[in-house]
Structure 1
Amino acid sequence: MCRWAAYIGEPIYLEDIITRPDHSLVAQSVEATECKTTTNADGFGIAWYNERPEPGLYRDVYPAWSDPNLRSLAHQVKSRLFLSHVRASTGASTSRNNCHPFAARNWTFMHNGQVGGFEQFRKAADMAVPDDLYGKRLGGTDSEVLFLLALGYGLNRDPCAALEQSVAWLENQSRETGESPHMRLSAAFSDGQTLYAARYSSDHIAPSVYYRYSETRRGWAVVSEPLETNEDGWIELAPGKMISVTSEGLREMDFNPNRVEVAA
């Protein structure tokens, strides 16, 4: 399983989330505390937004703690909205194209979790990606397919409904293979204006998601694990919920792929 952290608010240095806190994302790459795999060493990535609608993207296959370029970039770059991820592979190879976040047009997406039996229906999943998005299918992960399917279902029109449809389609394929867990998901994604996050599982084990507003940073952090072990105010997102965060504040909504009818 992976760990991730996202931020939206007044511009801050990336290091304020990625490297400086006691339980920063880089610290979680060495010793995560709320997932089965404590070490997340199969690559990392950052996507950040500034003046342009398309995000900047930096990904590599090294462990996050061992890359001096990551620390240098995080020390120098400020952003009002960014997503960062450290990877522990659940099957796909360690390559730059398999590192999160994924980017297409102005959208970015990162995921922690798994789709049971994905390799058994990977060809069908690839073929379900719309033709105009298939050129963005660069890696071999279930997470990238999840993202591209959601884009095809209308992520720009209704992010919650589009992600529900994408999750429902993949979960249905997994159920047909009979391999569980069929779906475990914590995901964060953005169009450059709004930060979204969702938490869901087909069983009772949903990957963790927390969020907190910081008066010091004047912004929201949405994370897999709290960035400080002794810091109050972190709110755990309940399974089956999704949030959208803008400069106007945070809104919570139901996230229920089971209400989606999947075509046979």
Structure 2
Amino acid sequence: MCRWLAYSGSPIILDELLFKPEHSLIEQSRFARLGAETTNGDGYGLGLYEDGTDIPPTVVRSTTPAWSDLNLRELAGHFRSRLFFAHVRASTGSAVQQTNCHPFRYGRWLWMHNGSIADFSRLKRDLVFAVDPELYPAILGSTDSEVMFFLALTFGLRDDPPAAVKRMVGFVERIGRLHGVEHPVQMTIATSDGERLWSFRYSSVGRSRSLFYSTEVRSLRQLHPEVFAQEQLSDDARLVVSEPLRDLPGAWNEVPESTYIVIEHGTHETHPFRPTPPS
């Protein structure tokens, strides 16, 4: 389906994470090891928050495969961000076009997704009709991922992200089952307002796509000084990834099934995730 990473910490050059690790996200665009597909060549996207500003994040998206895009390599070598999203796409059926590439943006909010809504074409009308009419004009593409984002916004993402995502998933599952779709939702999701980062791992069938978060940097320097002694990662740096970027014991922690994680200022919390059915 897709591979993604989300970074939070002191500002870092994107190249340090997108290209340099031996199993970087760019390498995963060609040779994913834990994804539903090996190749994720239907485009890529970046969402970058600038340090010390309240302006909306910058979003760069392209339908070019990430591994062959010279503009991406140029940008990654010069852009620096304290919180950023990166995504490489494998379409689950929607068109390969820029507006379908992740991350999606609304105001200060970013959203990216790996997974799918099963039989989305059958459910799409009912799902889209539930989006707040004031939000609807901001939907630019045709993916299930973007509809999930705008449903979450409709259900209160800007006020209480976990509650909104629970309501969104509960609603999608209700609509899916009304249409005879037994297991409608498959998702790992990242969303942020530029200050905190939330990541969710859930599927209706209970076998979700892979998701990991990094061990704190001070511990990494003790565990693997040969790698991290000279790294530019700050002590408060944290990563959430579809797949580990390096094969290092103790460096990565799997997000448990049906769980969400909150990262803020270098600390993290994990919580159980259970959808909220519509009342």
**Where on the TM-score scale, by shorter chain, does this alignment land: which range?**
over 0.9
Q: Is the CA contact 2:44–2:61 (under 8 Å) kept in the aligned structure 1?
A: yes
Q: Which moved more, 1:247-256 or 1:145-154?
A: 247-256
Q: Is the CA contact 1:8–1:220 (under 8 Å) kept in the aligned structure 2?
A: yes
Structure 2 Cα separation of the partners of residues 239 and 60 of structure 1: 31
Q: Number of residues paired by the alignment?
A: 261
Structure 2 Cα separation of the partners of residues 246 and 228 of structure 1: 23
Q: Which moved more, 1:171-180 or 1:1-10?
A: 171-180
Matches within 5 A, 1:1-264: 1-50=1-50, 51-212=53-214, 213-215=216-218, 216=231, 217-218=233-234, 219-257=237-275, 260-263=276-279
Deviation at 1:223, TM superposition (A): 0.3
Kindly report the root-mean-square deviation, in angstroms, between the aligned alpha carbons of the 2 structures: 1.3
Alpha-carbon distance change, 170 to 26 in structure 1, aligned in 2, over 3 angstroms: same
Q: Secondary structure at the match of 2:77?
A: helix
Structure 1 Cα separation of the partners of residues 242 and 256 of structure 2: 13
Query: Rg larger in 1 or in 2?
Result: 2
List 4+ stretches of structure 1 deviating above 6 A. none
Q: Is the CA contact 2:117–2:184 (under 8 Å) kept in the aligned structure 1?
A: yes
- State the percentage of identical aligned residues: 40
Q: Is the CA contact 1:53–1:192 (under 8 Å) kept in the aligned structure 2?
A: no
Deviation at 1:246, TM superposition (A): 0.9
Q: What is the letter of the counterpart of residue 157 of structure 2?
A: L
Unaligned runs of 5+ in 1: none
Q: Secondary structure at the match of 1:164?
A: helix
Structure 1 Cα separation of the partners of residues 159 and 49 of structure 2: 20
Q: What is the letter of the counterpart of residue 33 of structure 2?
A: T
Q: Deviations over 1:215-243 (max 9, x none)?
A: 44120010000011235320000011111
Q: Secondary structure at the match of 1:121?
A: helix
Structure 1 Cα separation of the partners of residues 277 and 202 of structure 2: 17
- Normalising by structure 2, we get a TM-score of 0.90
Q: What is the letter of the counterpart of residue 196 of structure 2?
A: T
Deviation at 1:128, TM superposition (A): 1.1
Structure 1 Cα separation of the partners of residues 272 and 55 of structure 2: 28
Q: Is the CA contact 1:13–1:79 (under 8 Å) kept in the aligned structure 2?
A: yes
Q: Which moved more, 1:240-249 or 1:70-79?
A: 240-249
Q: Is the CA contact 1:107–1:191 (under 8 Å) kept in the aligned structure 2?
A: yes
Structure 2 Cα separation of the partners of residues 180 and 119 of structure 1: 15
Unaligned runs of 5+ in 2: 219-230
Q: What is the letter of the counterpart of residue 20 of structure 1?
A: K
Structure 1 Cα separation of the partners of residues 92 and 173 of structure 2: 16
Q: What is the letter of the counterpart of residue 4 of structure 2?
A: W
Structure 1 Cα separation of the partners of residues 71 and 54 of structure 2: 23
2:226 alignment counterpart = none
